[in-house]
Amino acid sequence: MGFMSKVKRNLHLMLQRPPRQQYAALCYRMKKKQGLLEVLVATSRDTGRWVIPKGWPMTDKKAHQVAEREAYEEVGVKGKVEKEPLGHYHYRKTLDNGLKIPVVVQVHALEVDECLKSFPEKGSRKIAWVSCEEAATRVHEPELKILFLQFAEKMEPLLAGAQTKVVG
């Protein structure tokens, strides 16, 4: 490798920024009688793509608390959020100035027990309760697709057990 190639490679590494961090909520509810698991997806305000509620870190709030707050503000749900992350996914965020930055999103599961009629971003997004499989087809990020499908697998035994109790 020549001198100029090394300089170019090193310069590229120096200019490459580490990904910014966001926190998200994978909001779900179980319809035990039907044996159904539903997850909540919403459109983003800027591009209209299907996403899950997420946001930037907040002062004096832990990651799971940020995820819980974003779920309330963006899609109007409240419930029990898991402290441990479910997983992560990456995407490129386009800033207002057009710059695209890498972002890693830490995802926390949130079991919804209340859907509010009024919340801060009501009317600025479409919201849909869908299966994990349908959510995986709607979102663009490959790692988020996988998270939805893994979540469905993880929850399957809980739904089967609940359905047996209802029937039996």
Write the pLDDT tens digit of every residue in 60-92.
Answer: 999 999 999 999 999 999 999 999 999 999 999
Tell me: pLDDT of 108 over 60. Answer: yes
Please state the rounded mean pLDDT for residues 22-43: 92
CA 56 from chain centre, in angstroms, equals: 12
Q: Pick from 32-36, 44-48, 145-149 the range whose average pLDDT is largest.
A: 145-149
Would you place residue 152 in the very low, low, confident or very high pLDDT band (cuts 50, 70, 90)?
Answer: very high
What mean pLDDT is predicted for residues 87-99?
90
Greater confidence, 73 or 165? 73
Q: Pick the more confident residue, 150 or 4.
A: 150
Residue 96 banded pLDDT, cuts 50, 70, 90: confident
pLDDT at 10 over 60: no
How large is the average pLDDT for residues 131-136?
Answer: 98
- Considering the entire predicted model, what is its pTM? 0.84
Given a cut of 60, is residue 11 above it in pLDDT?
no
Per-residue pLDDT, 1: 60
As a whole number of angstroms, the distance between CA 74 and CA 69 comes to: 9
pLDDT of res. 16 = 63
Backbone angles phi, psi at 71, to 5 degrees: -60, -40
Q: What is the mean pLDDT of residues 84-106?
A: 92
Of 52, 58, 88, nearest to 71 by C-alpha is 52
- What's the confidence (pLDDT) of residue 166? 44
